[in-house]
């Protein structure tokens, strides 16, 4: 038996030998999340960005879809479910459905945080422990803030955005300041 975890990320030439050698094989993954990393546009056009897992999805009798999830609370799960899973994704239990970031009330570090002072409303929503504030969209229009302009790499294929990356780092640092969580 061969079991391939995160099979949606694995290139077919890597998967096929293991699968061909097995009497039984199981591919585990979600082709709607991540696909194989293929940098060459030519190879992408030729279908190399499609995993064996995704190709085999046409055989519905061999596909088992797990609809109960333990990773996201209700608002996040509902968004994912609606956008990607035909509204079939469900929280496994109420503990999962109602989970929120454990926030330390009135943390003085937040008031002094430079990032918080520049983006108060966004930060208030992001560090709220209210279930209704779980999903927050942040508008990063580059025409209003030059730091959010995309930059193209030397090859012209890769695109990155330093302003958005810095925003995410600052937001993660804020999460750590207001949370009762500790990092290993």
pLDDT tens digit sequence for 158-169: 788 888 899 999
Range of the domain at 10: 2-97
Q: Quote the strand ranges of the chain, DSSP E.
A: 2-4, 25-27, 68-69, 90-91, 151-152, 159-160
- On whether both 90 and 28 belong to a single domain, the answer is yes
> Which positions of the chain have pLDDT values less than 70?
104-112, 142-144, 156, 180-184
- On whether both 11 and 58 belong to a single domain, the answer is yes
What pLDDT, on a 0 to 100 scale, did the predictor assign at position 88?
A: 95
Q: Which residues pair with 128 in a beta bridge?
A: none
Q: How many helices (H) and strands (E) does the chain have?
A: 9, 6
Compute the residue count for the chain: 184
Q: What is the Cα–Cα distance from 11 to 40, expressed in whole angstroms?
A: 13
- Phi, psi dihedral angles at 160 (to 5 degrees): -140, 160
Q: Flag whether 183 is in a domain.
A: no
Query: Where among 97, 130, 154 does a domain terminate?
Result: 97
Q: What is the full DSSP assignment across 145-174?
A: -GGG--EE-TTSS-EE-HHHHHHHHHHHHH
- On whether both 171 and 125 belong to a single domain, the answer is yes
Q: What is the full DSSP assignment across 121-136?
A: HHHHHHT---GGGS--
Number of domains in the chain: 2
What pLDDT, on a 0 to 100 scale, did the predictor assign at position 151?
A: 84
Q: Flag whether 184 is in a domain.
A: no
- On whether both 51 and 76 belong to a single domain, the answer is yes
CA atoms within 13 A on the CB side of 51: 23
Q: Look at the block and give the residue holding tokens 């008031």.
A: 111
Express each pLDDT in 41-51 by its tens digit. Answer: 899 899 889 99
pTM: 0.74
């Amino acid at each position: 038996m061969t079991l391939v975890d995160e099979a949606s990320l694995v290139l077919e030439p890597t998967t096929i030998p293991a699968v061909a050698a097995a009497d039984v094989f199981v591919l585990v993954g979600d082709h709607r999340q991540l696909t194989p990393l293929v940098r060459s546009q030519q190879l992408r056009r030729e279908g190399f960005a499609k995993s064996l897992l995704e190709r085999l999805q046409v055989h519905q009798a061999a596909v088992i879809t797990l609809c109960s999830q333990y990773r996201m609370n209700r608002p996040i799960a509902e968004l994912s479910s609606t956008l990607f899973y035909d509204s079939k994704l469900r929280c496994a239990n109420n503990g999962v459905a109602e989970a929120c970031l454990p926030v330390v009330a009135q943390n003085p570090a937040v008031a002094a945080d430079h990032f918080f002072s520049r983006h108060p409303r966004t930060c208030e929503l992001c560090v709220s422990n209210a279930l209704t504030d779980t999903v927050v969209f942040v508008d990063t229009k580059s025409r209003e803030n030059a730091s959010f302009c995309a930059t193209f790499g030397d090859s012209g294929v890769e695109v990155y955005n330093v302003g958005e990356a810095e925003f995410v780092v600052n937001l993660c640092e804020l999460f750590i300041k207001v949370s009762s969580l500790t990092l290993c």
